[in-house]
Amino acid sequence: MRRSIRWNITASYLVLVFLVLVIFTAYVVRALERQYVNTYAYVVATQAKVISLMMREYADDPGQDLARLQVMVQQLRWRKDATISLLDATGRSPGGTVDPAAPEVRAAFAGEEAQSVRTDSQGVKRVYAAAPIVGADGNVVGVVHVSAPRIWVLRQLQRMAPALLTAMLLGLTAAVVVGAALSRRITRPLLALGAAAARISAGDLSTRAPVHGTDELGALGRTFNEMAERLEQTVADISDERNRIEAIVAAMTDAVVATDRHDTIMLLNRAAEDLLRVRRDDALGRSSTRVFGTRRLSAMLHEATAHGRVTAEELPPGTMGDRVVEAHCAPVRSSGGEVTGAVAVLRDVTELRQTERLRRELTANVSHELRTPLTSIKGFAETLLDGAMRDEATARRFLTIIDSETDRLVKLVDDLLDLSLLESKRVTLDPKPVDLGGLIAHTVDKLRPIADHSQLTLVQSAPAGIVVFADADRLEQVFTNLVDNALKYTPPGGRVEVQARPVNGEVEVAVHDSGQGIQPEDLPHVFERFYRADRSRTRGSGGTGLGLAIAKHIVEAHGGRISVSSRLNEGTTFKVTIPLSSGGGAIQ
């Protein structure tokens, strides 16, 4: 391109100047030629006239012979190839070399001086002139005829050729120099612009073209620089925006996967790596079908890119490991509305679904638990209203039952409230140093009447001086439930034992009974709310199945743990372990 523009301009200049010079020279040469010929013709005519005047004195001298005069005038010839002829009044010339019918001869006989230019019989162009020789009487007595070849004029012209050629060469050289300089002036900023454009397209957006002058090229350079500035700004804005979006996507807890229209994975965030169990570096740039196999996800992505369809599905466990995943997939469109890819957002809803299931179960359980005492209360109240009221003994018995059912209801509601507070972590513990031995002794003493009533032996052994940092009321609630359970599920004659001992910076409290035990399949569930190992039997004992769930929450809030071991028909042991230095505060 560089050569072509420079050479084009220079060559144009050259051609232009050459043409101008050629046309100019042609015109000048022609004009000069005409001028020379005219001048020459005039010289020839003057020659003729001078000779005619000389001849006048011989005109009337009859002794003069034409042939002699002719010889005489030959001396006046200034060139060898010039001719001078004399014609007598009859038009004869010595040797008959002159055609008396020639126009200049005829004009001369008519008394005029005349000239003409024409080609002679040998094909040579000549200049002719004729002048009359006037006698004393005023008559034309003869004619002087002079001719000379025109080539002589051209010779004169030819002498000018070197000068013309030199001028032409100088002109052409000037054209080359000026053309080259001018083309350089034009191409230099263009080349600089081209180089700047090349650097920009190679990615160096900070490049600017050197701008000079106020002409069109200067304006082009400035416009180019403005364009580059805007481009740089736009690219910076886009990359800022992109970084922001990437940061948002990376920080999202939802898994995000994006593909282009050829199904190639373009984006995969951290959450997606964890959920889909793929590595980002392994997935990026590969086809989603290859990375996700025949999984539903790649089908959804494909549906979005191929048909522009938005899909939302909950993928059950098994589709994506053991997780329940909510997947939304939508096509990505360009500003022209064309589908350029697809993006899928996946949310692990396993916990959410489990919570929902637990909530449904809780509602069902609560309703069920409330229904039993309420049905019983309503039944006895109706019977009383139907007439049983009149018999005082029956009325008292029924009212006692209603009273105890109401107690059960109140306990159930209290426990539920307690559990919900503990679960929502809105309960604040009030930790203080607690003498564990004293607390256990107090609990055991409180429940001793029940043990006596059920003919059970209740013993406790706790070394003095074990002090834990705990909420005393809450801890008493745990031990009360454990001992109460042990008493409830141990047949008369059995033994219930509460022991405390420090182990490795912790204290372990074991509540052991020689009761019925718990079936192995029930063991893992006894800490779940409303779970009762033997429903038919425990219903009568008035349990709601919330005690151990509450106990577990309280123990864990103290930084401890609770466990159970049991042998059917031999007995059960619950162990509560809490750190000796257990702190308190809000339940975490």
Query: For Mg ion, which is the closer residue by CB, 10 or 485?
Result: 485
Q: Kindly state the helix (H) or strand (E) to which residue 259 belongs, with its residue range.
A: strand 255-260
Min dist. Cβ of residue 347 to ligand ATP (A): 34
Query: Could you count the other beta carbons within 10 Å of the beta carbon of residue 470?
Result: 30
For residue 544, state whether it binds ligand ATP (rule: CB under 6 A): yes
Query: For ligand ATP, which is the closer residue by CB, 113 or 484?
Result: 484
Min dist. Cβ of residue 455 to ligand ATP (A): 17
CA pair distance 299, 297, nearest whole angstrom:
5
Nearest CA to 448 among 490, 408, 480?
480
For residue 373, state whether it binds ligand ATP (rule: CB under 6 A): no
The residue within the footprint of ligand ATP, chosen from 548, 555, 557, 578 (CB under 6 A), is: 548
Between the CA atoms of 97, 100, 104 and 106, what dihedral angle is there, to the nearest 10 degrees? 160
Q: Residue type at 430?
A: D
**Phi then psi for 173, rounded to 5 degrees?**
-60, -45
- Please count the residues of this chain forming the interface with ligand ATP, following the rule CB under 6 A: 22
Query: For ligand ATP, which is the closer residue by CB, 373 or 545?
Result: 545
Residues 6 or more apart whose CB falls under 8 angstroms from that of 281 comprise none
Instruction: For 47-100, give the DSSP string.
Output: HHHHHHHHHHHHHT-TT--HHHHHHHHGGG-SSTT-EEEEEETTS--GGG-S-T
For residue 365, state whether it binds ligand ATP (rule: CB under 6 A): no
Coil, helix or strand at residue 256: strand
For residue 458, state whether it binds ligand ATP (rule: CB under 6 A): no
| Binding track over 482-511 against ligand ATP, x by CB under 6 A | ---xx--x----------------------
The site partner of 513 among ligand ATP, Mg ion, none (C-beta below 5 to 8 Å per kind) is: ligand ATP
The site partner of 515 among ligand ATP, Mg ion, none (C-beta below 5 to 8 Å per kind) is: ligand ATP
For residue 115, state whether it binds ligand ATP (rule: CB under 6 A): no
Nearest CA to 498 among 515, 480, 477?
480
Query: For ligand ATP, which is the closer residue by CB, 340 or 480?
Result: 480
Is 24 within 8 Å of 171 (Cβ atoms)?
A: no
The residue within the footprint of ligand ATP, chosen from 513, 514, 554, 578 (CB under 6 A), is: 513
CA pair distance 212, 189, nearest whole angstrom:
8
Site for ligand ATP in 555-574 (CB under 6 A): 572
Min dist. Cβ of residue 488 to Mg ion (A): 7
For residue 55, state whether it binds ligand ATP (rule: CB under 6 A): no
Min dist. Cβ of residue 347 to Mg ion (A): 39
The site partner of 93 among ligand ATP, Mg ion, none (C-beta below 5 to 8 Å per kind) is: none
Nearest CA to 84 among 102, 95, 70?
70
For residue 526, state whether it binds ligand ATP (rule: CB under 6 A): yes
Integer angstrom CA distances of residue 415 from 370, 386, 421: 12, 34, 10
The residue within the footprint of ligand ATP, chosen from 198, 534, 570, 581 (CB under 6 A), is: 534
The count of C-alpha atoms lying within 13 angstroms of the C-alpha of 542, restricted to the half-sphere facing its C-beta, is 13
Min dist. Cβ of residue 544 to Mg ion (A): 8
Min dist. Cβ of residue 351 to ligand ATP (A): 24
Q: Find the helix packing angle between 436-453 and 472-488, rounded to 10°.
A: 30
Nearest CA to 562 among 450, 473, 504, 481?
481
Where do contacts with Mg ion occur on this chain (CB under 5 A)?
481, 485, 547
Min dist. Cβ of residue 384 to ligand ATP (A): 27
The residue within the footprint of ligand ATP, chosen from 145, 532, 552, 558 (CB under 6 A), is: 532
The site partner of 142 among ligand ATP, Mg ion, none (C-beta below 5 to 8 Å per kind) is: none
> Which residue has the CB atom at the shortest distance from Mg ion?
547
Report CA Rg, the chain. 66
Residues 6 or more apart whose CB falls under 8 angstroms from that of 315 comprise 296, 297, 324, 325, 326, 327
Instruction: For 196-210, give the DSSP string.
Output: HHHHHHTT-TT--PP
Q: For ligand ATP, which stretch binds (CB under 6 A), given 94-102, 111-119, 133-141, 481-489? A: 481-489
Min dist. Cβ of residue 485 to Mg ion (A): 4
Where on the chain is the footprint of ligand ATP (CB under 6 A)?
415, 481, 485-486, 489, 513, 515-516, 518, 526, 531-534, 538, 543-548, 572
